[in-house]
């Protein structure tokens, strides 16, 4: 199998980010972020169209209600629509039963708009971790074909550092699901999370490229799962009143993201995550099995 590249976008309004948990935002500011989310997502659609690249959009379910036209247009452009939960709460917040309700609510709202089954999930803040490993069973029970929420890194907010870096079967108590972990770059014993976020904005783009090369050369099947957020491409947006460290983490490097994304999209072919999942399943390749 050829090396796959997946560009994924976690679509949420800026005030929903984990760093802003507990902050009081005015209705006006939330409306402004919602407006900018739609505008920036449409710009991203233009960049993808120019590069003739297809992507996967993991969308907060509530956005299917507030911005159905946006969801419809993303889908009409040929991109995959996946779920990013109902309202962007981490999996830690739920019991298996309440997580099921949240998942189905989001899945059905998105499906109502597009008329197509939602088969992929990305947990807010990669919150499928050891403690929330039961999520695997719920995802499979709810009809999801794959998940992309386990980050094989050591990080203060998320990650399972010893999880496989390539596609694997995440094994729960009664079910299993195909997992597409975000791209990492292995340096010695450490997996650097080079798939997106702060690393994409802060480090030279060469670090992500090195991760892409390493994955293509050393893994089979090779899947480089990248992730971005619309708000990361909006350097002019009003700033959230975050603490000093959170502010730096959130806003560092935002003025260079659009040029970087365009550069990444050039000269590479991109596949939707669901198409990668189908190719892997059709190939009958034996993937590692990893109990959560």
Which parts of this chain interact with Zn ion (CB under 5 A)?
Answer: 10, 12, 124
Q: Which is nearer to Zn ion, 233 or 290 (CB)?
A: 233
Q: For residue 3, with 0-12 CB atoms within 10 Å meaning exposed, 13-18 middle and 19 or more buried, which class applies? A: middle
CB of 37 to Zn ion, least distance (A): 11
Shortest distance, CB of residue 256 to Zn ion, whole angstroms? 21
Q: Which is nearer to Zn ion, 124 or 230 (CB)?
A: 124
- Smaller CB distance to Zn ion: residue 12 or 102? 12
Asked whether 216 and 222 are in contact (CB, 8 A), the reply is yes
* CB nearer to Zn ion: pick between 10 and 13: 10
| 2/21 with CB nearer Zn ion | 21
To the nearest whole angstrom, how small is the minimum distance from the Cβ of residue 12 to Zn ion? 5
Nearer to Zn ion, 33 or 290 (CB): 33
Q: Measured from the CB of residue 36, what is the shortest distance to Zn ion in angstroms? A: 15
What is the smallest separation between the CB atom of 142 and Zn ion, expressed in angstroms? 19
Q: Which is nearer to Zn ion, 120 or 124 (CB)?
A: 124
CB of 227 to Zn ion, least distance (A): 9
Q: How far apart are CA 117 and CA 218, in angstroms?
A: 33
Please tell me the distance from the alpha carbon of residue 140 to that of residue 7, in angstroms, as a whole number. Answer: 23
- Using Cβ positions, the residue closest to Zn ion within the complex turns out to be 10
Phi, psi of 168 (to 5 degrees): -155, 165
Q: Which is nearer to Zn ion, 73 or 87 (CB)?
A: 87
CB of 260 to Zn ion, least distance (A): 19
């Amino acid at each position: 199998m050829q090396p796959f590249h997946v560009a994924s976008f976690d679509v949420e309004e800026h005030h929903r980010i984990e760093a802003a948990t507990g902050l009081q935002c005015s209705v006006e500011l939330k409306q402004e972020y919602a407006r900018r989310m739609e505008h920036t997502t449409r710009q991203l659609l233009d960049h993808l169209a120019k590069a003739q690249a297809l992507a996967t959009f993991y969308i907060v379910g509530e956005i299917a209600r507030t911005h159905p036209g946006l969801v419809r247009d993303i889908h009409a452009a040929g991109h995959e629509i996946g779920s990013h939960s109902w309202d962007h709460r981490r999996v830690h917040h739920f019991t298996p039963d309440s997580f099921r309700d949240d998942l189905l609510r989001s899945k059905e709202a998105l499906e109502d708009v597009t008329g197509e089954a939602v088969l992929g999930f990305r947990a807010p803040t990669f919150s499928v971790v050891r403690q929330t490993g039961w999520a695997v069973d719920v995802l499979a029970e709810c009809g999801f074909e794959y998940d992309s929420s386990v980050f094989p890194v050591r990080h203060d907010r998320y990650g399972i550092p010893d999880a496989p870096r390539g596609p694997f079967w995440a094994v729960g108590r009664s079910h299993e699901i195909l997992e597409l972990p975000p791209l990492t770059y292995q340096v010695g014993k450490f997996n650097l999370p080079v798939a997106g976020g702060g690393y994409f904005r802060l480090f030279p783009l060469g670090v992500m490229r090195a991760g892409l090369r390493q994955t293509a050369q050393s893994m089979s099947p090779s899947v480089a799962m990248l992730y971005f957020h619309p708000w990361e491409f909006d350097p002019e947006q009003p700033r959230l009143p975050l603490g000093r460290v959170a502010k730096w983490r959130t806003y560092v490097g935002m003025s260079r993201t659009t040029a970087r994304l365009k550069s990444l999209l050039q000269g590479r072919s991109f596949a939707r995550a669901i198409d990668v999942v189908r190719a892997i399943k059709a190939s009958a390749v034996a993937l590692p099995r990893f109990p959560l």
